């Protein structure tokens, strides 16, 4: 509730967004990543033109086990070095209580998942959040650990690349088209930059702060340790591939380390999961002299298996075993709080497992059948062909459904469980592929274990997919098609291939499966682009509105009157004595003020239920303008808080115009009354008779400085709303020049005003006069408190150690006159000697605060237009 001197602080937020602010950078990144993968795939396709799948398969089957064992040892050394990342990061963020065993297991699982699927904050961060949570590692600390691990990795990668460039630059020089001297200088420059970083960190410890979240950068000693750990990790990973290379590849280890580092950098920057295709193309171009041999290609395939597939498989089994033990322990302890620690990891893990199962089914559909000679003896050809085609379609759909699992959708859980079961069956009937079936069943088992975590409503294909999910699906389908084209390139294309059905017609099955997968992707993408999710019903039924009116009438909270504006939805308490009034903007669910709780209504329960309701629909809940008295409830519910400003409450028992205290207001009143001005309160039942005159005042007020109607947190011109309350009017020469509606709560002896407007040519100080007369009238009627509304951004701490939000808001308060007269509002209300009571915003995600504030501002500015449109639709 605000006065005529107020204009909401969010009015101009987002009003002048530049072109760069309107760009969806996540989708730009996805397009760049897909372009990088496509280019790498085309390079690989041309480079591998002379190599057949049979040659690669023969080389893999006959590969010496001793060299595979050496690659396995190097891989183990690399993952062992990775533990150092987490050890250093945990100590920097102050989480020293985590045991070494837990750190080692968590590091292995998180890095194995991140290396294979990419999106480190989502995948590796989710694993760390799950496994470190029992040791009281907070979400902010987990985020800091993820970033510090990434920093250590890049530092070690830069160090080893710089050293090797300085020692042996010839190989990279040939690859990038520079001379050896330039590459050597580049290596020395990298080492110099690292030395400078060490020198700076030795002089001063640096902390990167984003509001209350902090990322402490390591000192010189810790930085040096992180560099050595990173070097050990990269060197061991490079050796794992180096020992697999054929003997005819004449490349020194330092030169190969530089090529390997360059391939990792390009793979990471491409954002392609696991650097698939991009990493391999760089390695082939860097070390192959002319056309690569089948042995070299086999080395890359085996490296993928040894360094990526085997560790992520072991990590998945370890995590599933950990979850099963944890849940059995929880069942024995019967502790819901302990159970809550084990649940958050299930959705992202299930999404990854389901996506992996779909990828296995899809890629397997491109490979030649290995057991076809056995299958043909007892499975008819139509069953083999149908199973192969359907398994590929199932795999493609699983890629898409995985995104819904990450968002905890119940419909995605049901569909994924059905598809994984079908995928297991079809894997067996198409060629006795028990490995594929086991992967599908393992993913299905994980879904069954975590079935309680998939509770959100909504269609599995509804809503806009994220850029990362689109990228993952596109890369998976493209990689499958690329593998098939590379394997069957020796078979001349003919239209008859589409219609040939035989046990050994693998190329025909690949063509049909690829067409089916592409069709599925196109249909789903078209559906998601064209299909708009039906918005949640906004119109409140007459019976619900009667229930709202009854609760508002019995409430002692003055803010409950805002429920009658007509621009809100309602979540009712189980007892029917309270509600949360809210609306939705984007994915932000904004509750206006504290829940209205009467009688048997539980405010705490309403807060939790609103949070659950938003969460079920993938929304982010916030409570806007909550009082200080209820802050413990929001803190217990996991909300963060920032101060928005202060409410001005006038103590009517102490209010007076007598004596020295009331001298200025007394003089203002006398001066205005000498201008032939009168004050009157129009009863609610008679307000409709004054609508034409009041509308002229309102329109004139809106025209000044191009004002627009605001809503949600304050009233706007709505005749239904105005006719519910008395209206205080000021006349000048029998013409209404100002008015304000009067809100009363006799049960709590509080009153307020909401819609307060005047014409531009009204007598000077007419608004001061209106407020003074209202205060005197309410005091005469026996009211004890009068609320003048909030002064935005006022009363925030000015100490140099205050939060960044407080300091930034303080600057706006003092110097933001062009946007809004923040300080003027405070001065106006201060005339009436109010008691200032703080108001807060309770929000859930710190990094989402800017978007939350923009959504609230948009909700307030668009509220009146939405109410009019809704009324027109309802009337029609």
Which two structure tokens, joined as six digits, stand for 562? 């805002």
**CA 570 to CA 548: how far, in whole Å?**
8
Write b or e for each residue in 253-288: b if 16 or more Cβ atoms lie within 10 A of its Cβ, otherwise e.
ebbbbbbbbbbbbbbbebbbbbbbbbbbbbbbbbbe
Residue of 410, 393, 819, 856 lying closest to 615 (CA atoms): 410
pLDDT tens-digit series, residues 301-329: 888 888 888 888 888 777 767 666 655 55
Q: Above 60 in pLDDT, residue 471?
A: yes
Per the domain annotation, does 858 fall within a domain? Answer: no
Per the domain annotation, does 318 fall within a domain? Answer: no
Which two structure tokens, joined as six digits, stand for 463? 């809503």
pTM over 0.85: no
Indicate the angle between helix axes 100-117 and 346-364, nearest 10 degrees: 40
CA 405, 407, 408 angle in degrees (round to 5)?
65
When divided into structural domains, the chain yields a total of 1
Q: Above 80 in pLDDT, residue 459?
A: no
CB 462 within 8 A of CB 439: no
**CA 698 to CA 729: how far, in whole Å?**
12
Residue of 216, 164, 225, 209 lying closest to 190 (CA atoms): 164
Sign, CA dihedral 44-50-54-57, equals: negative
Domain residue limits at 107: 48-305
**CA 730 to CA 759: how far, in whole Å?**
11
Q: What is the mean pLDDT of residues 543-555?
A: 88
Q: What is the mean pLDDT of residues 764-784?
A: 92
**CA 812 to CA 808: how far, in whole Å?**
7
Per the domain annotation, does 610 fall within a domain? Answer: no
Per the domain annotation, does 536 fall within a domain? Answer: no
CA distances from 262 to 46, 164, 165, 185, 244 (A): 21, 11, 11, 16, 19
Q: Above 70 in pLDDT, residue 383?
A: yes
pLDDT tens-digit series, residues 731-763: 998 899 999 999 999 988 999 988 889 998 888
Q: Which helix (H) or strand (E) holds 842?
A: strand 835-843
Q: How far out from the chain centre does Cα 62 lie?
A: 47
Ranges of beta strands (E only) in 497-573 are 569-572
Residue 339's pLDDT is what?
43
Percentage above 70 pLDDT, the chain: 75
Looking at residue 16, the DSSP 8-state letter turns out to be T
pLDDT tens-digit series, residues 486-539: 777 777 777 777 787 777 777 888 888 888 888 888 887 777 666 554 445 456
Point out the least confidently predicted range of 288-297, 548-557, 739-748.
Answer: 288-297
Per the domain annotation, does 758 fall within a domain? Answer: no
Per the domain annotation, does 66 fall within a domain? Answer: yes
Residue of 807, 771, 812 lying closest to 792 (CA atoms): 812
Residue 785's pLDDT is what?
92
Q: How far out from the chain centre does Cα 345 lie?
A: 16
Could you tell me which residues come within 8 angstroms of residue 438 by beta carbon, excluding any fewer than 6 positions away?
424
Q: Above 50 in pLDDT, residue 836?
A: yes
Q: Which contacts of 667-673 are long-range, i.e. CB under 8 A and separated by 24 or more positions?
A: 668/765, 668/768, 668/769, 668/772, 669/769, 669/772, 669/773, 671/765, 672/763, 672/764, 672/765, 672/766, 672/768, 672/769, 673/769
Could you tell me which residues come within 8 angstroms of residue 751 by beta carbon, excluding any fewer than 6 positions away?
558, 742, 743, 744, 745, 774, 778, 783, 785, 786, 787
> What's the chain's average pLDDT?
77
Which two structure tokens, joined as six digits, stand for 554? 């019995």
**Assign residue 41 a region: left if phi > 0, alpha if psi is -120 to 50, beta otherwise?**
alpha
pLDDT tens-digit series, residues 569-585: 898 887 888 899 998 88
Label residue 9 by pLDDT band (50, 70, 90).
very low
Label residue 453 by pLDDT band (50, 70, 90).
confident
Q: Above 80 in pLDDT, residue 455?
A: no
Q: What is the mean pLDDT of residues 611-619?
A: 78
Per the domain annotation, does 808 fall within a domain? Answer: no
The better pLDDT of the pair 234, 204 is held by: 234
Residue 774's pLDDT is what?
93
At 588, phi and psi to the nearest 5? -95, 125
Q: What is the mean pLDDT of residues 335-352?
A: 59
Outline where 593-658 has alpha helix (H): 603-616, 631-636
Label residue 332 by pLDDT band (50, 70, 90).
very low
Per the domain annotation, does 395 fall within a domain? Answer: no
């Amino acid at each position: 509730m605000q006065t005529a001197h107020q204009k909401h602080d969010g009015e101009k937020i987002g009003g002048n967004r530049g072109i760069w602010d309107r760009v969806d950078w996540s989708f730009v990144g996805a397009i760049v990543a897909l372009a990088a993968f496509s280019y790498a795939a085309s390079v690989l396709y041309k480079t591998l033109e002379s190599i057949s799948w049979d040659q690669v398969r023969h080389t893999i089957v006959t590969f010496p086990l001793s060299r595979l064992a050496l690659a396995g040892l190097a891989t183990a050394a690399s993952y062992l070095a990775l533990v150092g990342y987490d050890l250093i990061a945990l100590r920097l963020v102050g989480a020293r209580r985590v045991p070494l065993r837990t750190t080692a297991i968590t590091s292995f699982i998180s890095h194995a998942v991140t290396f294979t699927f990419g999106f480190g904050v989502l995948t590796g961060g989710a694993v760390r959040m799950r496994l470190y949570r029992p040791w009281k590692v907070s979400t902010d600390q987990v985020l800091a650990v993820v970033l510090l691990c990434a920093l250590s990795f890049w530092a070690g990668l830069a160090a080893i690349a710089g050293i090797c460039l300085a020692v042996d630059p010839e190989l990279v020089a040939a690859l990038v088209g520079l001379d050896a001297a330039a590459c050597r200088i580049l290596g020395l420059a990298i080492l110099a930059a690292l030395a400078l970083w060490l020198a700076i960190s030795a002089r001063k410890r640096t902390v990167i702060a984003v509001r209350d979240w902090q990322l402490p950068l390591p000192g010189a000693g810790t930085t040096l340790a992180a560099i050595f750990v990173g070097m050990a990790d990269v060197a061991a990973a490079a050796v794992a591939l180096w020992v697999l290379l054929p003997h005819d590849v004449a490349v020194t280890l330092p030169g190969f380390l530089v090529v390997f580092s360059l391939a990792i950098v390009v793979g990471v920057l491409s954002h392609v999961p696991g650097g698939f295709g991009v990493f391999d193309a760089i390695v082939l171009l860097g070390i192959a002299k002319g056309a690569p041999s089948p042995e070299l290609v086999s080395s890359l395939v085996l490296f993928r298996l040894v360094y990526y597939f085997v560790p992520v498989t072991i990590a998945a089994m370890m995590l599933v075993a950990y979850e099963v033990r944890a849940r059995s322990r929880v069942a024995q302890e019967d502790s819901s709080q302990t159970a809550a620690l084990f649940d958050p990891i299930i959705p992202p893990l299930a999404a990854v497992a389901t996506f992996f199962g779909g990828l296995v089914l899809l890629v397997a559909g491109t490979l030649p059948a290995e057991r076809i000679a056995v299958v043909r003896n007892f499975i008819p050809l139509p069953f083999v062909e149908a199973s192969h085609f359907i398994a590929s379609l199932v795999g493609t759909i699983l890629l898409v459904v995985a995104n819904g699992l990450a968002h905890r959708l119940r419909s995605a859980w049901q569909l994924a469980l059905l598809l994984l079961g079908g995928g297991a069956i079809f894997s067996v009937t198409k060629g006795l592929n028990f490995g594929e079936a086991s992967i599908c069943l393992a993913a299905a088992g994980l879904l069954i274990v975590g079935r309680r975590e998939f509770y959100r409503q909504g269609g599995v294909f509804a809503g806009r997919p994220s850029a990362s999910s689109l990228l993952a699906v596109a890369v998976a389908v493209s990689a499958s098609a690329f593998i098939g084209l590379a394997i069957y390139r020796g078979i001349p294309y003919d239209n008859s291939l589409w219609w040939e059905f035989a046990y050994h017609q693998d190329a025909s099955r690949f063509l049909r499966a690829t067409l089916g997968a592409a069709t599925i992707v196109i249909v789903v993408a078209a559906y998601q682009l064209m299909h708009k999710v039906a918005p949640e019903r906004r119109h409140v039924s007459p019976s619900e509105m009667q229930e709202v009116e009854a609760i508002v009438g019995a409430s002692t909270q003055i803010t409950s009157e805002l429920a009658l504006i007509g621009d809100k939805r309602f979540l009712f308490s189980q007892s029917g004595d309270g509600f949360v009034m809210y609306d939705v903007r984007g994915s932000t669910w904004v509750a206006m003020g504290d829940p209205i709780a009467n009688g048997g209504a539980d405010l705490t329960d309403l807060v939790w239920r609103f949070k659950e309701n938003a969460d079920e629909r993938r929304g982010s809940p916030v409570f806007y303008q909550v009082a200080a008295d209820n802050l413990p409830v929001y803190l217990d519910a996991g909300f963060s808080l920032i101060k928005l400003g202060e409410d001005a409450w006038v103590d009517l028992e102490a209010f007076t115009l007598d004596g020295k205290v009331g001298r200025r207001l007394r003089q203002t009143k006398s001066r205005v009354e000498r201008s032939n001005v009168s004050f009157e309160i129009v009863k609610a039942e008679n307000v409709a008779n004054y609508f034409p005159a009041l509308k002229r005042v309102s329109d004139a007020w809106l025209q000044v400085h191009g004002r627009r109607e605001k809503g949600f947190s304050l009233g706007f011109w709505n005749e239904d709303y105005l006719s519910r309350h008395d209206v205080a009017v000021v006349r000048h020469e029998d013409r209404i020049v100002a008015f304000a509606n009067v809100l009363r709560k006799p049960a709590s002896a509080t009153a307020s005003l909401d819609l307060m407007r005047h014409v531009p040519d009204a007598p000077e100080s007419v608004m001061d006069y209106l407020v003074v007369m209202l205060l005197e009238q309410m005091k005469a009627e026996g009211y004890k408190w009068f609320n003048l509304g909030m002064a935005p951004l006022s009363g925030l701490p000015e100490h140099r150690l205050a939060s960044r939000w407080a300091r930034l808001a303080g600057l706006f308060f003092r110097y933001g006159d062009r946007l809004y007269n923040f300080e003027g509002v405070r001065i106006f209300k201060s005339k009436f000697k109010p008691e200032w009571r703080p108001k807060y915003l309770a929000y859930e995600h710190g990094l989402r605060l800017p978007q939350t504030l923009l959504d609230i501002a948009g909700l307030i500015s668009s509220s009146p237009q939405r109410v009019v449109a809704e009324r027109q639709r309802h009337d029609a």
